[in-house]
Amino acid sequence: MEKVILISIDGMRPDGFLNCGNPFAQEMMKIASYTLNGSTVFPSVTLPCHTSLFHSVTPQRHGITTNLYIPFARPINGLFEQIANHGGVSAMYYGWEPLRDVSRPESLKFSAYINAYTEESSDTSLTDMALYRIEKSKPDFVFLYMVETDEKGGHDNGWMTPAYLERISMALDNVKRVYEACGDEYTIIVTADHGGHDRAHGTDLPEDMTIPMFYIGKRFEPGRQLEGISILDIAPTIADIMSVTPAREWEGRSLAK
């Protein structure tokens, strides 16, 4: 089973990525197949968007339209469940507690949560924990979720402010560490769940709905720009790379060659 790391950087706008001043942003555009014009789903809110990411259907289908989880009226297996059904080992590291509901019980072998407001540099600590587990256990799939860009950047200071851009740069430092430690063994996918404007998000404005996505690994041509892709394509792409069957209901398509 080919191995994948998915990194979600909450609220990272494409222009925030481009203007954060971290030199690794330029490097990512050279080593990845990528887009700076990807689409998320409406409402552009963290739990609805991540539920769509992992289940490859829109909020209209899965029914989660706020940050309050409710069981699906018509259940769909998500990426974690499909990987577990194929005998794969998954790990998840996350800085915002409601994200626990993107997988169902028994589909994770490793999981850790740190509250971003009670620990400074929670994103860095989560990255440390993910890298420790990768070195020790080599999970087949690792999901690393960083929230400081959104909470301490966008909401506390405003999207595209210097403080927000600094949080993106800090997140990219962590992406760089993951790439340098794991880039030979893992395909690495980096995305955002949504953008933002002023000090909020959730609307259908382009500032909220447009996300960057990066696919780094042997299945992806370096430096190639991808067009017309959506957050719904991430789960089918990861399943394809890992030789995991997608659930019948999934609506996205694989971008892997």
Question: Which spans of this chain sit near Zn ion (rule: CB under 5 A)?
Answer: 150
5, 186 in Cβ contact below 8 A? yes
Q: Tell me the residue number closest to Zn ion, measured at CB.
A: 150
Report how far apart, in Å, the C-alpha atoms of 81 and of each of 75, 105, 108, 154, 253 are: 12, 9, 9, 32, 18
Pick between residue 116 and residue 256 the one whose CB is nearest to Zn ion: 116
* Nearest distance from C-beta of residue 136 to Zn ion, angstroms: 32
* Nearest distance from C-beta of residue 154 to Zn ion, angstroms: 6
Pick between residue 10 and residue 233 the one whose CB is nearest to Zn ion: 10
* Nearest distance from C-beta of residue 150 to Zn ion, angstroms: 4
* Nearest distance from C-beta of residue 196 to Zn ion, angstroms: 7
Pick between residue 50 and residue 61 the one whose CB is nearest to Zn ion: 50
For residues 168 and 75, what is the distance between their CA atoms, to the nearest angstrom?
35
Pick between residue 150 and residue 207 the one whose CB is nearest to Zn ion: 150
For 148, counting Cβ atoms within 10 Å of its Cβ (0-12 exposed, 13-18 middle, 19+ buried), the class is buried
Helix (H, G, I), strand (E, B) or coil at 147: coil
Pick between residue 150 and residue 240 the one whose CB is nearest to Zn ion: 150
Report how far apart, in Å, the C-alpha atoms of 109 and of each of 22, 116, 166 are: 33, 23, 33
* Nearest distance from C-beta of residue 251 to Zn ion, angstroms: 24
CB count, 10 Å around CB of 24?
17
